[in-house]
Amino acid sequence: MSDIPTKQGTEHKSNVIVGPKGDPFPTPKSAKLSMAQRDMDFNEYEIVPYEDGFAIAKRDPSQIREVPVESKKHIDPKTVTGTVGEPEKYFRVRFDPKSSPNDPEKVTLGVNGDLLSISREVEVILPARFVECAEHAVRQTFKQLPGQERKVGGKVRTFPFRILGESSKEEYQAMKAVGDAEMAALKNA
């Protein structure tokens, strides 16, 4: 397989973009940084597991949703929570599919006693406090090669997700009411 060198990585003919030396990115964060440096559209490309790391791949066209121009501004997950006294912000997000068979089917997030059970691969609306919770939910990764000691590989999100844009409290409440009704129906079944 011949590789095509690019500014911040190597594009394989298998249509994935990997690190500059042809190796997978070691963490999703390093792949995301490469996407940002290339000014790639996060709605059009995604980070996928690849070999023993991560790569950037073009999304399935059926999953691409056109975002209105006014909501295409960059949203930094580290600044999703407002200051005291400001109304809470709401965001449209999509959690990635399970990356291993041991991952739970649904993402469960809890903030100050409030729990949300969230479906993966579906656009949902969340208050900023739950987006921040998902951002802080990380786990340590390790790498071990035969005959060598185990090495710390870094930290990755427990529940990887993408912020698709901003939303409103009314949209969140409507979506939550539908979800609550579905959960009540399951309990009564």
Residue type, 93: V
* Chain-centre distance for alpha carbon 93: 8
- Average pLDDT of span 18-36: 82
Q: Which residue, of 60, 90, 110, is where some domain finishes?
A: 60
120 and 189 inside one domain: yes
On whether the CB atoms of residues 67 and 115 are closer than 8 A, the answer is no
pTM for the full model? 0.54
DSSP string over 22-84: SSPBSSHHHHHHHHHHTT--TTTEEEEEETTEEEEEEPPGGG--PPPGGG-S---GGG-S--T
Q: Are residues 46 and 119 in the same domain?
A: no
Q: Specify which residues 94 forms β-bridges with.
A: 123, 162
| CA 186 – CA 83 distance, rounded (Å) | 38
* Residue 145 belongs to a domain: yes
Tokens for 105?
């089917």
Q: Is residue 189 part of a domain?
A: yes
DSSP β-ladder status, 9-12 and 106-111:
unpaired
Do 81 and 55 fall within a single domain? Answer: no
Asked if 54 and 94 sit in the same domain, the reply is no
68 found inside a domain: no
State pLDDT tens for residues 114-140: 888 899 999 999 999 999 999 988 888
Q: Are residues 85 and 175 in the same domain?
A: yes
Number of domains in the chain: 2
Residue 177 lies in a domain: yes
Do 113 and 183 lie in one domain? The reply is: yes
Residue 67 has pLDDT above 50, yes or no: no
What does the alpha-carbon distance between residue 45 and residue 43 come to, in Å, rounded to a whole number? 6
**Are 51 and 124 members of one domain?**
no
One domain for residues 93 and 121: yes
**Which domain, by its residues, includes 9?**
1-60
The reported pLDDT for the residue numbered 33 is 79
pLDDT level of residue 1 (50, 70, 90 thresholds): very low
Tell me phi and psi for residue 146, to 5 degrees: -55, 135
- pLDDT band, very low/low/confident/very high, at 73 (cuts 50, 70, 90): very low
